[in-house]
Chains A and B, each alone.
Chain A
Amino acid sequence: MVFLQIASVHKAYATPEGALVRALDDVTINVKNNEFLTLLGPSGCGKTTLLKCLAGFEDMDGGDIILEGKSLRSVPAHHRPLNTVFQNYALFPHMTVAQNIGYGLDVAGVKKPERDRRVGEALEMVGLEGFGGRRPAQLSGGQQQRVALARSLILKPRILLLDEPLSALDRKMRESMQIELKNLQHTVGITFIFVTHDQEEALAMSDRIAVFNHGRLQQIGNSTEIYDTPANDFVANFVGTSNLFAGKVIARNNGLLIVETANGRKLVGTGDRFAIGDSVKLVLRPEHLRITGPDEPASDHAISGTITDAVFVGSVVRVHVDVGFGRTAILHQKYDRRGLGSALNPGTAVTIVYSPEAAHIIPEGA
């Protein structure tokens, strides 16, 4: 049995101007038990709406959400075995940390001695021993975050929903919390459904990522699948940086396709579900492109061009190369502590090469 079935869920809103916005358009996902699933997408893509439908704060227009064989459609939020960590944490300001964490047990009728013991354990789990008597306003953002986590996890939910919980933290804190959250998920053995617009965060934490745009599920898969074999333009551009070259398939050879671009350039790439004559796009990641001299022999995995910019960003140098027909390719050159040198001066004629397996082919306009 599928643990959690999100079955063709629909949800539309009317804007104040009267236009209809499809927040969720036929979304279907099967979530596994103990999985760390991330819903990734830009703001307004529907990921938060889906989370609210799961938590029970929003009604669906169509479709169903089935947890362990039972439909949650008509189950109100306070009877669902799911708990939420809110973006702003939503800690009760008039209660102490311990009262906040014990709230769920309290309303469930758990007696005080038992409650106190479990609140103590929860505080320990998130490393906040001794903070029970404080008010949420006296805590830092990171500590409030832990209280919110403890408050939800103490109820041992079947699924923990997390709505961009790291977005209010600074970068360093966020990175350490990413690891902590991931470890916590392993320890407690609860399914996490995590919403974020930060693709790095998604890649770093998730077992699987579901990418959303305009209310539609674009692709679902593990981090490397999403990164290496994006399903379409949107995923290719939203997750990491991509160079896209449009063209038509003109030949097939052992899983390798030859794509002819608009200006007659022939490039090779990997893809198996295309026929000759299909309009496609070649996806090339910046780190898979390598600069060689202008005298590199012409081939189906080499592109000639002119450097327009070279930006030092720390670990790599980001190089922009004008490859003609109005396209700029972005590539990452390793930085070796010898300065940028004259090889990367704007105006230098170069050839970019890549290995044919690194070029992933997606359908045009998908």
Chain B
Amino acid sequence: MLKGLKEGKLWSILFNGYGLLFLTFLYMPLGLIVLYSFNSNPINMAVWTGFTLDWYATIFGGASVEGTFDAAFTESPERIFEVVKNSFLVAIFAASISTIIGTATAVALARYKFAGKRFYQALLILPMLVPDIVLGIALLIFFVGAGFELSLLTIIIGHVTFLSSYVFIVVSTRMAGMDTTLEQASADLGAGPLTTFWRVTLPQIMPGVIGGFLLGFIISLDDVVITYFIAGVGSQTLPLFILAMMRRGLRPQITALAVLILIFSFVVATIGLLLRNRKP
């Protein structure tokens, strides 16, 4: 009995230890980048020389790097602002269009019967499974072939092709959990299909729709591979911009930029999770 208890305790310690190690493994790199972004050492960020907010300041134009070692590696606030603006424009438009397409598709597939429905369903999930690099090349070939000039518009169209699948899946889950008698009740009370959609179906699946939008927004915001192929010269997004900066070495300004993106993603994800857990 006593031995059994001890054994149980040992296992419990081991399991907790394992859990702790796993979390460390997950979060240590993120912790390090946050730490580095506050390190004043401009040459070697792995050596701590003191706390500074300078790197953040360079992003917002609050500090000058003229004449310092990092001058050659630091991008101007104007340039950063431009690529951030590009990224947000793409993410907002791509996520909005995808949300409309994905939601409409999810509602149609959940409520209407038609020939080839299952095949269609499989086709919708496929863009998520196609390797990004293949999708990127395919889109590039398509845009060039169709005579599109690569720009923010092509990025938006490209993102919509696979983001719609994500929204479709998120909203479909919500549709599957919805009580179909609510829609019958609405029809029974004299509401046509459109009124029923706006006044009964949409409010019921709203958390899923917003969740799908936020997911699409975040994925669009940090997509590198596909965007790399379909971005034009004047249409750099933030991830592509950071990638370009990285070619000149990992500089402290990049860590500060990365932390800001991290915080933003974290906030969006939290909103998404809160909405998802909210009861219909």
Q: Which A residues have a C-beta under 8 Å from some C-beta of B? A: 55-57, 76-79, 82-84, 86-88, 90-94, 103-104, 107-108, 151-152, 155
Nearest chain B CB to A192's CB is how many angstroms away? 15
Given contacts A78-B191, A88-B181, A90-B179, contact A103 B186 (CB under 8 A): yes
Given contacts A92-B200, A94-B203, A94-B204, contact A151 B181 (CB under 8 A): no
**CA–CA, A55 and B199, complex, Å:** 20
A84 lies within 8 A of B188 (CB): yes
B189 within 8 A of A: yes
Q: How many A-B residue pairs have CB under 8 A?
A: 66
B188 adjacent to A83 (CB under 8 Å): yes
What is the bound-complex CA distance between A261 and B90, given in angstroms? 87
Roughly how many angstroms separate A104 CA and B204 CA in the complex, as a whole number?
18
A56, A92, A104: which contacts B182 (Cβ < 8 A)?
A92
The answer to whether B131 has its CB under 8 Å from any CB of chain A is no
Q: Does B185 contact A (CB under 8 A)?
A: yes
**Cβ of B181: which chain A residues have Cβ within 8 Å of it?**
86-88, 90
List the A residue with the shortest CB-CB distance to B200.
A92
Q: Which residues of A contact B189 (CB under 8 A)?
A: 78, 83, 103-104, 107, 151-152, 155
> What distance in Å separates the Cβ of B198 from its nearest Cβ neighbour in chain A?
10
Q: A86-B181, A88-B181, A90-B181 are in contact. Are A76 and B187 (CB under 8 A)?
A: yes
From the candidates A77, A87, A108, A152, name the one contacting B187 in the complex (CB within 8 A): A77
Q: Which residues of A contact B203 (CB under 8 A)?
A: 94
The residues of A that contact B187 with a CB separation of less than 8 Å are 56-57, 76-78
**Is there a chain A Cβ closer than 8 Å to B280's Cβ?**
yes
Q: Which of A55, A86, A90, A107 has a CB less than 8 Å from the CB of B190?
A: A107
User: A91 vs B204: C-alpha distance in the bound complex, in angstroms?
Assistant: 12
Q: Is the CB of B191 within 8 A of A57?
A: no
Q: Which residues of B contact A94 (CB under 8 A)?
A: 203-204, 280
Q: Do A88 and B192 contact each other (CB < 8 Å), given the known contacts A94-B204, A103-B186?
A: no
**Residue of B with least CB distance to A107:** B191
- Interface residue count for B (Cβ, 8 Å)? 20
What chain B residues lie within 8 Å of A76 (beta carbons)? 187
Q: Which residues of A contact B193 (CB under 8 A)?
A: 78
**Which listed residue, B190, B196, B199, B280, touches A155 by the CB 8 Å rule?**
B190
Complex Cα distance, B185 from A38, in Å, reads 21
**Main SS of chain B's interface residues?**
helix
User: Which of chain B's residues 167-226 have a Cβ closer than 8 Å to chain A?
Assistant: 179, 181-182, 184-193, 195-196, 199-200, 203-204
Alpha-carbon gap, A155 to B179, bound state (A): 23
* Nearest CB in chain A: distance from B59 CB, A: 42
| Residues of B with C-beta under 8 A to A83 | 188-189
How far apart sit A84 and B187, CA to CA, in the bound complex (Å)? 10
Other A-B pairs, 14, CB within 8 Å; known A77-B184, A90-B182, A92-B185: A57-B188, A83-B188, A86-B184, A88-B181, A92-B182, A92-B186, A103-B186, A103-B189, A103-B199, A107-B192, A107-B195, A108-B190, A152-B188, A152-B189
Interface pair B184/A90, CB less than 8 Å apart: yes
Q: Which residues of chain A come closer than 8 Å to B182, judged between CB atoms?
A: 90, 92
Check A57/B204 contact, CB under 8 A, given A88-B179, A103-B191: no
B184 surroundings in chain A (CB, below 8 A): 55, 57, 77, 84, 86, 90
Shortest distance from the beta carbon of A267 to any chain B beta carbon, whole Å: 50
In the assembled complex, which residues on chain B have CB atoms less than 8 Å from the CB atom of A55? 184, 188
Closest to B206 in A: A94
Mind listing 12 A-B residue pairs with CB under 8 Å? A77-B187, A78-B196, A82-B188, A84-B188, A90-B185, A91-B185, A92-B186, A94-B280, A104-B191, A108-B190, A151-B189, A155-B189
What are the residues of chain B within 8 A of A84 when measuring CB–CB?
A: 184-185, 188
A4 to B230, CA, bound (A): 64
Report the 3 A-B pairs with minimum CB-CB distance, sorted nearest first.
Answer: A104-B189, A90-B185, A90-B181
Chain A residues with Cβ below 8 Å from B186 are 92, 103
| B192 contacts across to A, CB distance below 8 A | 78, 107
Give every chain B residue within 8 A of A87 (Cβ-Cβ): 181
Q: How far is the CB of A93 from chain B (nearest CB, A)?
A: 6
Measured between C-beta atoms, what is the minimum distance from B39 to chain A in Å? 50
Residues of chain B with a CB closer than 8 A to A57's CB: 184, 187-188
Q: Which residue of B lies closest to A102 (CB)?
A: B189
Chain A residues whose CB sits within 8 angstroms of the CB of B188 once the complex forms: 55-57, 77-78, 82-84, 152
User: What CA separation (Å) do A108 and B190 show in the bound complex?
Assistant: 7
